[in-house]
Structure 1
Amino acid sequence: MKIALRTITASMALAFCAQVALAGVSAEEAAKLGTSLTPMGAEMAGNADGSIPAWKGAYTKVAPGYTNGTPRPDPFAGEKPTFSITSKNMAEHAGKLSDGVKALFARNPDFRLDVYPTHRTGGAPQWVYDNTRKNATSATLEDENSVSGAVGGIPFPIPKDGLEVMMNHRLSWYGQSVDYALRTFIVTADGRRALASEGDELLQYPYYITDSYKGIFQLGRFIVSGPASKAGEAILVHFSADKDVPRGVWQYLVGQRRVRKAPSVSYDTPDFVTSGVGLFDEAFMMFGPIDRHEYKLVGKKEMYIPYNNNRSALATIEELVGPKFLNPDHVRWELHRVWEVEATLKAGKRHTVPKRKYYIDEDTWQIVLFDGWDAKGDLWRMNYALGYLVPELPAHVTNVMWGGYDLQTGAYYFNAAMNGGSPHYKVSEPRSEILWSPEELANQGAR
């Protein structure tokens, strides 16, 4: 499917010019994009020993005969792990592992991490690169949840602080409009797997449909089809990146036969999609407002992270979701450079996870791992996104196949699982505004 070329219009660019002196980076710094930096702002070069290669462009090789919405093949199916990390040799690799991953090893001596050759497949269409270059000199961070002077590309490809990196994740490239069937599984501390939710997810990104962007950067709609006790429920989100445009979250409950606003769908409220094992602001690796924490940019480091995991989506749930952790046979890890951002609770604010460390892939600006500590300072949560390659966009995305571990109880969940369902991350034409109205939510949920 072809995605229409859309760039920032001349009128929009003129409107942004007034802010250039107060925002963004200099034209000289922005000139690094496409030279020493990739068009999205990652280091173009590989690392010293070649274990991270130079970026050569987004992966765009669509498999012969592939049909939109069907499971995408694993483009690296013939590769074998370069080596494996186990509890016996973990100490040798500790510097490239997150605290949460190390805690998984400590809790589960049979956990294993298979490391494959690194493929820097992340990227976007040329028009996204063009907009990113323009955003670099014009984007202004208004507050923790909003940005001005940016559209259609990464807002801060050369970031100066942690909040800019978090906003890059929020406005990263997933396509313009996609839909997929998903299931959510929870695994209890004693190893029992259960279906928590299933249904159809629609996501649309007006920020990347630049001629219609009015401050709502993401639209989302989830219609629940199971289990039977939840069938017909629905949730709708309008996420804003403009401080003058309010966000909106609505929920349709079958028993009440009405749509109501759901302001509690945010922060550390237990996520009913995961039967309360996850928190709402953990969804999609970051969900809703993030203004209760301060964000410090620690820097960049090399780390083993899940990546290019189309193989995970091809496994059955029985094969992939084990009694203590995801089956290592079906999870691919690679060495990549990531940005590290540390979040700490603001004075006077409350949150059950007062400290987190986020790890953001340099090539996509998407969160791939994060760890969370409780109020006592004990490591509590480890969240992951397996990463899925969509060559026809092109993109490497983390808004499917993500989840989290409770490192204190041993329970975990796997959300947005496409395994065995249809469609698989279907690239769609943008839907009309009517579909995203609260009134239409009731019609869809009741069907």
Structure 2
Amino acid sequence: MQSQFSLRLSVLTIALMGSCFAHAAVSPDQAARLNADLTPMGAERAANADGSIPEWTGGYTQVPAGYKSGDKRADPFAADKPLFSVSAGNMAQYAEQLAEGTQALLKKYPDYRLDVYPTHRSAAAPQWVYDNTLQNATRATLEEATEKVSGAYGGIPFPIPQNGAEVLWNYRLSWQGADTFYAPFDTWLMTAGGKKLQATRARFWYQHPYYFKEGSLDTYGGKHLIGKLLTEQPSSKAGEGLMTHWDMDPSARAAWQYLVGQRRVRRAPNVAYDTPDFVTSGVGFFDEAFMIFGPTDRHDLKLVGKKELLVPYNNNRAAAASSDELVKPGFLNPDLVRWEKHRVWVVEATLKAGKRHVVPKRTYYVDEDSWQVLLLDGYDAQGKLGRHNYSLTLLAPEMPVLTAQVMWGSYNLETGAYFLNAAANDLKVQYQDYPRPSASFFTPDAMASDSMR
């Protein structure tokens, strides 16, 4: 009897210990806020105190007449005029609304400025995504130690986040406009000496099984993002490929690389963390791709809170410009980059004891409306700010979506070099939805076959 009692007690103890590491979903009463003072995605519905951030009224979903998938998207707010500009001369007046990396750029370059336009809360998603988000609010859980998410499908997993890890998962699982999309792109490097170089021209396809509309939590297999990238330029890398399978359990992630010289596919476990990203010729790190790429479990994630910040937003005009117009020495052309004031979640990532990373501290700024990571500051081991990452979100009202999957990059604040990745400025088509291919399309064998053609 005593041994049976001890066994039952041990099982109960283990269960209780396990529950300590899993953050529970919110209550039904809390979730009801998504139909009241919060938007269906979890943002504050109301305007801010002075009205500079307006009320969310459903986002922007007006599709221009004659638009076809893949067309360059027009700037729906082209008639707007800047409300004011921020430069090194007046930045102290706006310091509370500026990320540290933004302030560093203003200090470094006297000619750099932010043209701040009226705020448009343009982010939107289909109703079925909102419905799934409401269900996720009361069923999704996170194991903070492993970063494993359970109980979520087809919407934002944690619309009322309780910690930093949940906020970053909201970005990983954010609505990107389709369950499968395609984008050809260029990667542009600007050297410290002011020379513009093309690092890569490639095509990528991403699929979100998490957002199969006909699916459900019961039938979902766990892979939330599957990607395939094929390199076209430079000629020395033409045919090089990358395949990634990201899972709700980060320990189940997998990646493969096709190497042209070896003419074979190999597993690529180092496609994560601070491994130099070959797409950016090693200037960026893999976990900076798309602002977050892969796990973040080497860092403790602290949810600092929410603040009003000047951020790049609704940058269809920048996306339509040529690369020569946009990519200038020192910084992106201020005449083309649109800034607005938005509320963002602030998450601080600090390296865990016993772990290593060349960027031991980061601060993420995450849009409350779309859950896109808009800005990211990176600090070295001495606490010095050295990197400032950005995304020029693209508004695609026909999907509808505001996405950070294109036009993202990083400034090296020490050397003065920077890059712009996933840019279609000099290409005929932009980011677009793609007919869902068979499962075999996203296999290492298919990548090898495509690369050898």
1:70 aligns with 2:77: no
User: TM-score under structure 2 normalisation?
Assistant: 0.92
Q: 1:376 Cα shift?
A: 1.2
Q: 1:52 Cα shift?
A: 0.2
SS of the residue corresponding to residue 226 of structure 2 reads strand
Instruction: Identify the residue that residue 355 of structure 2 maps to in structure 1.
Output: 349
State the alpha-carbon separation in 2 of the partners of residues 34 and 164 from structure 1. 21
CA contact (8 A) 2:379 2:387 kept: yes
Instruction: Identify the residue that residue 135 of structure 2 maps to in structure 1.
Output: 134
Instruction: Identify the residue that residue 230 of structure 2 maps to in structure 1.
Output: 223
Instruction: Identify the residue that residue 237 of structure 1 maps to in structure 2.
Output: 244
Q: 1:22 Cα shift?
A: 7.2
1:80 aligns with 2:86: no
SS of the residue corresponding to residue 265 of structure 2 reads strand
1:205 aligns with 2:208: yes
CA contact (8 A) 2:158 2:167 kept: yes
Name which of 188, 194, 198 aligns with 1:195. 198
Q: 1:432 Cα shift?
A: 1.5
1:122 aligns with 2:160: no
Q: 1:80 Cα shift?
A: 1.3
Q: Which amino acid aligns with 2:188?
A: F
Q: 1:138 Cα shift?
A: 0.4
User: TM-score under structure 1 normalisation?
Assistant: 0.94
Q: 1:25 Cα shift?
A: 0.5
CA contact (8 A) 1:58 1:395 kept: no
Name which of 343, 362, 372 aligns with 2:368. 362
State the alpha-carbon separation in 2 of the partners of residues 215 and 69 from structure 1. 29
Q: Which amino acid aligns with 2:324?
A: E
Instruction: Identify the residue that residue 162 of structure 2 maps to in structure 1.
Output: 160
SS of the residue corresponding to residue 307 of structure 2 reads strand
1:395 aligns with 2:398: no
1:104 aligns with 2:105: yes
How many matched pairs? 427
Q: Which amino acid aligns with 2:225?
A: Q
CA contact (8 A) 2:61 2:124 kept: no
Provide structure 1 residue ranges, at least 5 long, that are not aligned to the other structure.
1-18
Instruction: Identify the residue that residue 169 of structure 1 maps to in structure 2.
Output: 171
State the alpha-carbon separation in 1 of the partners of residues 26 and 353 from structure 2. 30
Instruction: Identify the residue that residue 246 of structure 1 maps to in structure 2.
Output: 252
Instruction: Identify the residue that residue 298 of structure 1 maps to in structure 2.
Output: 304
Q: Which amino acid aligns with 1:358?
A: Y
Name which of 333, 338, 350 aligns with 1:332. 338
CA contact (8 A) 2:87 2:114 kept: yes
Q: 1:24 Cα shift?
A: 0.5
State the alpha-carbon separation in 2 of the partners of residues 420 and 300 from structure 1. 37
Q: 1:142 Cα shift?
A: 2.2
1:420 aligns with 2:426: yes
Instruction: Identify the residue that residue 9 of structure 1 maps to in structure 2.
Output: none
SS of the residue corresponding to residue 138 of structure 1 reads coil
Q: 1:429 Cα shift?
A: 2.4
SS of the residue corresponding to residue 166 of structure 1 reads helix
CA contact (8 A) 1:181 1:422 kept: no
Bigger mean CA offset, 105-114 vs 245-254:
245-254
SS of the residue corresponding to residue 28 of structure 1 reads helix
Q: 1:354 Cα shift?
A: 0.5
Instruction: Identify the residue that residue 384 of structure 1 maps to in structure 2.
Output: 390
1:298-325 Cα deviation digits (max 9, x unpaired):
0000000000001111100000000110
Q: Which amino acid aligns with 2:133?
A: T
State the alpha-carbon separation in 2 of the partners of residues 101 and 350 from structure 1. 26
Q: 1:70 Cα shift?
A: 1.0
1:222-251 Cα deviation digits (max 9, x unpaired):
1100011111111010011135x7111111
Distance 1:39 1:377, change over 3 A: same
Q: 1:423 Cα shift?
A: 2.5
Name which of 300, 310, 313 aligns with 1:307. 313
1:267 aligns with 2:267: no
1:185-239 Cα deviation digits (max 9, x unpaired):
1111111110001111111111111526311100111110001111111101001
CA contact (8 A) 1:24 1:140 kept: yes
Instruction: Identify the residue that residue 185 of structure 1 maps to in structure 2.
Output: 188
State the alpha-carbon separation in 1 of the partners of residues 152 and 87 from structure 2. 44
Q: 1:176 Cα shift?
A: 1.1
CA RMSD of aligned residues (A): 1.3
Instruction: Identify the residue that residue 4 of structure 1 maps to in structure 2.
Output: none
1:30 aligns with 2:37: no
CA contact (8 A) 2:147 2:165 kept: no
1:435 aligns with 2:405: no
State the alpha-carbon separation in 1 of the partners of residues 351 and 55 from structure 2. 37
State the alpha-carbon separation in 1 of the partners of residues 438 and 429 from structure 2. 20
Bigger Cα Rg: 2
Q: 1:146 Cα shift?
A: 2.0
State the alpha-carbon separation in 2 of the partners of residues 156 and 195 from structure 1. 39
SS of the residue corresponding to residue 324 of structure 2 reads helix
Q: 1:266 Cα shift?
A: 0.8
What's the % identity of the aligned pairs? 56
State the alpha-carbon separation in 1 of the partners of residues 148 and 173 from structure 2. 10
Q: Which amino acid aligns with 2:246?
A: F
CA contact (8 A) 1:179 1:423 kept: no
CA contact (8 A) 1:180 1:422 kept: no
State the alpha-carbon separation in 2 of the partners of residues 242 and 344 from structure 1. 21
SS of the residue corresponding to residue 220 of structure 1 reads strand
1:8-41 Cα deviation digits (max 9, x unpaired):
xxxxxxxxxxx9x972100000000021000000
Instruction: Identify the residue that residue 50 of structure 2 maps to in structure 1.
Output: 49
Q: 1:79 Cα shift?
A: 1.2
CA contact (8 A) 2:378 2:385 kept: yes
CA contact (8 A) 2:23 2:142 kept: no
SS of the residue corresponding to residue 308 of structure 2 reads strand
Q: Which amino acid aligns with 1:44?
A: R
State the alpha-carbon separation in 2 of the partners of residues 295 and 214 from structure 1. 27
